[in-house]
Copies of this chain bind each other. A is one copy, B any other.
Amino acid sequence: MTAKAPVEFYFDFSSPYSYIASEWVAAVAARHGRTVSWHAILLGATFQAAELKSPVSYPVKREYAMVDFQRSARFEGVPYRQPEPFPIATQNAARVFWWLADQDAARAAVWAHTGLRAYFTRGVALDKPEPLRGLCREAGIDPDAAEAAWSDPAWKLRLKAENEAAIAAGIFGAPSFVVDGELFWGNDRRPQLERWLASGPF
């Protein structure tokens, strides 16, 4: 029997809906015999490629989003505290992710949870070196090695390549899920994703 393809999960460390989805995606996938392949990306890069702007850059949408982030988190039973400032630059956290991913995919997934939960429940400033180093320490990651990685042109290039691969795969927002070649965009596509996982194309 061939193993089923993993759920490809694209997220940005500063995306509220990515955070909410990150809390259910592994359990939902496992229920249907799938694993999750995690992809840290930068929404700034995918927005630019698609000539989009962040929804929260529009005042009216931002006002709604600030209600909807919290309500959507409560709906999924996920703790949420709106961080300020928001959004923030997440390239360092994402580079640490890919640096870990090359060593051990499971450790990278743990780092994804660590970063997302830290920002969205405690407002930890993932965009600042000291808080990010502190978070590495909490997660049992050597902060000097992590900082060396996020400062290293090689990991900068790697993240750029991952963003480009996501864009080539049609990703224009986060969270996005690709399963059996089918793209689902948004935390709110959970019911459709679950139906696909349960019974295939519909």
Q: Spell out A's residues near B (CB within 8 Å).
A: 49-52, 58-61, 63-64, 67-68, 71-72, 74-75, 170, 172, 183, 185-186, 188-189, 191-192, 195, 202
Mostly, the A contact residues are helix
- Closest CB in chain B relative to A180 CB, distance in Å: 13
* Residue of chain B at shortest CB distance from A196: B71
The contact of A185 among B52, B59, B64, by CB within 8 Å, is B64
Q: Is the CB of B64 within 8 A of A183?
A: yes
Q: Is the CB of B202 within 8 A of A68?
A: no
- Closest CB in chain B relative to A162 CB, distance in Å: 18
Q: Indicate the member of A50, A64, A202 with the most B CB atoms within 10 Å.
A: A64
Chain B residues in 8 Å Cβ range of A71: 192, 202
CA gap between A183 and B66 in the complex, in Å:
12
CA gap between A67 and B182 in the complex, in Å:
10
- Closest CB in chain B relative to A116 CB, distance in Å: 21
* Residue of chain B at shortest CB distance from A52: B58
Q: Is the CB of A58 within 8 A of B67?
A: no
Chain B residues in 8 Å Cβ range of A192: 71-72, 75
- Closest CB in chain B relative to A28 CB, distance in Å: 15
Q: Is the CB of A202 within 8 A of B75?
A: yes
| Given A60-B172, A172-B61; A185-B51 close (CB under 8 Å) | no
CA gap between A71 and B191 in the complex, in Å:
12
| Given A75-B195, A192-B75; A64-B170 close (CB under 8 Å) | yes
CA gap between A183 and B67 in the complex, in Å:
9
CA gap between A188 and B188 in the complex, in Å:
6
CA gap between A63 and B202 in the complex, in Å:
18
The contact of A202 among B61, B74, B189, by CB within 8 Å, is B74
